[in-house]
């Protein structure tokens, strides 16, 4: 079931006794659980009404025992059990045995005063398992998957609209690029920008540049995009900023090499007919990053990408063996790449 539909049922007073929230998008998942809590539990009752378990450390027995225990001083309870890997095909690293049969028995006659929410950071569930089939049949298995690039742009637009300002088209793309499409980071940066531009303000690229914090990995991602698009002056400003932050040139080189390997993988998987979402799942990227990498891949053929990756490996050897100055080596490589 779609999480929005599930939330409507909850707000209408028709919650399921058990929910399974899965997928990599933690921000939307947390928002759903918060909305569920707001609908079921009064704020002053949460200390007694909400329990949390980590199933990598705790047995399912403890969760079910808590679920069946009568609430103390509150009319109903909410139990949140994270790391529920037994719903997936992943191999569990813990030695704790999880009695899934007991959960199946519980679902035959669940108590009406407890709602259990299981969470797991996985794109897919193991649909061969009885418990997964049962929860899917009950519309209680809720996917929280990464937004595709179009959905992400709509999400950013609406967040800004709710705060009373807007982005220019270029700035909207830019803030997504700078945050890598991470909703938690986007939410924080959008709120910061709203305070800066004020009511009915418009956030420009300059505002995004000035206010949005970027990690080293994200700076390298942007640097490669600037080189590919022949924005050399800006690329070298980013490189200089990284040096001023005392980032190790070999680390920067490693991240550049990683990005070109990603470009090569995306190019090959697109050629094989994979969608952005499938590629993102296969190589562990956000769909927006896949979209950018696909655009970058169009600038190079496979032979050129192989040549670039070989040059990066050679430069890594020269830098580590002291045959070339690290800063100079990086600058020369980027100039050669742009040429």
281: domain CATH number is: 1.20.272.10
The whole domain housing 278 covers 216-338
Distance between CA atoms of residues 54 and 212, nearest Å: 33
State whether 31 and 139 are in the same domain: yes
State whether 120 and 9 are in the same domain: yes
Domain's final residue, options 211, 231, 250 = 211
Distance between CA atoms of residues 333 and 325, nearest Å: 12
Distance between CA atoms of residues 306 and 59, nearest Å: 49
- Of 78, 75, 138, whose CA–CA distance to 104 is shortest? 138
Domain's final residue, options 88, 108, 143 = 143
Distance between CA atoms of residues 124 and 120, nearest Å: 10
Unique residue bearing structure tokens 């680390």: 251
State whether 198 and 225 are in the same domain: no
Q: Is 107 helix (H, G, I), strand (E, B) or coil?
A: helix
State whether 221 and 324 are in the same domain: yes
State whether 295 and 203 are in the same domain: no
Q: What is the CATH number of the domain that holds 167?
A: 1.10.8.60
Distance between CA atoms of residues 328 and 180, nearest Å: 28
Distance between CA atoms of residues 13 and 318, nearest Å: 66
- Residues of the chain short of pLDDT 50, as ranges, are none
Q: What is the CATH number of the domain that holds 30?
A: 3.40.50.300
State whether 258 and 300 are in the same domain: yes
pLDDT at position 113, please? Answer: 94
Under DSSP, the state recorded for 146 is P
* pTM, two decimal places: 0.78
State whether 202 and 333 are in the same domain: no
pLDDT at position 286, please? Answer: 85
pLDDT at position 285, please? Answer: 84
CB atoms within 10 A of CB 117: 24
Distance between CA atoms of residues 326 and 250, nearest Å: 7
State whether 203 and 234 are in the same domain: no
CB atoms within 10 A of CB 84: 26
Domain's final residue, options 93, 122, 143 = 143
pLDDT at position 262, please? Answer: 93
Distance between CA atoms of residues 285 and 278, nearest Å: 10
Structure tokens at 269: 């998987």
pLDDT at position 316, please? Answer: 94
pLDDT at position 33, please? Answer: 95
Cα separations in angstroms, 115 against 49, 50, 71, 95, 316: 10, 10, 12, 27, 54
- Of 155, 163, 143, 145, whose CA–CA distance to 179 is shortest? 155
State whether 230 and 328 are in the same domain: yes
State whether 123 and 153 are in the same domain: no
Helices (H), 215-248: 216-228, 232-244
CB atoms within 10 A of CB 193: 22
State whether 204 and 250 are in the same domain: no
State whether 207 and 220 are in the same domain: no
* Residue 336 C-beta-side C-alpha neighbours within 13 Å: 12
pLDDT at position 252, please? Answer: 93
Number of domains in the chain: 3
- Of 134, 135, 117, 148, whose CA–CA distance to 29 is shortest? 117
pLDDT at position 73, please? Answer: 85
Distance between CA atoms of residues 311 and 335, nearest Å: 13
- φ/ψ (deg, to 5) at 147: -70, 145
Distance between CA atoms of residues 82 and 21, nearest Å: 9
């Amino acid at each position: 079931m779609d999480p929005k539909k599930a939330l409507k049922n909850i707000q209408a007073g028709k919650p399921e006794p058990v929910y399974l929230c899965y997928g990599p998008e933690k921000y939307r998942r947390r928002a759903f659980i918060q909305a569920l809590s707001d609908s079921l539990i009064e704020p002053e009752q949460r200390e007694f009404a909400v329990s949390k378990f980590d199933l990598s450390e705790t047995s399912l027995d403890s969760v079910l025992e808590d679920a069946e225990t009568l609430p103390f001083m509150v009319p109903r309870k909410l139990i949140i059990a994270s790391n529920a890997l037994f719903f997936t095909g992943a191999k569990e690293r813990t030695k704790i045995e999880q009695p899934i049969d007991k959960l199946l028995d519980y679902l035959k006659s669940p108590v009406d005063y407890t709602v259990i929410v299981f969470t797991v950071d996985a794109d897919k569930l193991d649909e061969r398992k009885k418990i997964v089939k049962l929860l899917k049949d009950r519309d209680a298995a809720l996917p929280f998957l990464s937004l595709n690039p179009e959905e992400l742009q709509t999400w950013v637009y609406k967040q800004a609209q709710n705060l009373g300002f807007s982005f220019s088209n270029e700035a909207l793309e830019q803030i997504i690029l700078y945050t890598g499409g991470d909703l938690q980071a986007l939410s924080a940066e959008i709120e910061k920008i709203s305070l800066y531009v004020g009511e009915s303000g418009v956030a420009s690229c300059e505002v995004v540049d000035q206010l949005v914090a970027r990690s080293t990995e994200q700076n390298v991602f942007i640097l490669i995009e600037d080189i590919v698009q022949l924005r050399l002056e800006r690329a070298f400003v980013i490189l200089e900023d990284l040096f001023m932050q005392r980032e190790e040139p070999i680390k920067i080189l490693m991240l550049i090499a990683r990005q070109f390997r990603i470009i090569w993988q995306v190019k090959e998987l697109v050629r094989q007919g994979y969608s952005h979402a499938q590629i993102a799942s296969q190589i562990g990227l956000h769909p927006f990053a896949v979209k950018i990498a696909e655009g970058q891949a169009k600038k190079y053929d496979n032979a050129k990408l192989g040549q670039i990756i070989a040059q990066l490996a050679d430069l890594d050897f020269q830098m580590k063996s002291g045959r070339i100055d690290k800063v100079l080596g990086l600058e020369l490589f980027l100039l050669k790449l742009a040429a």
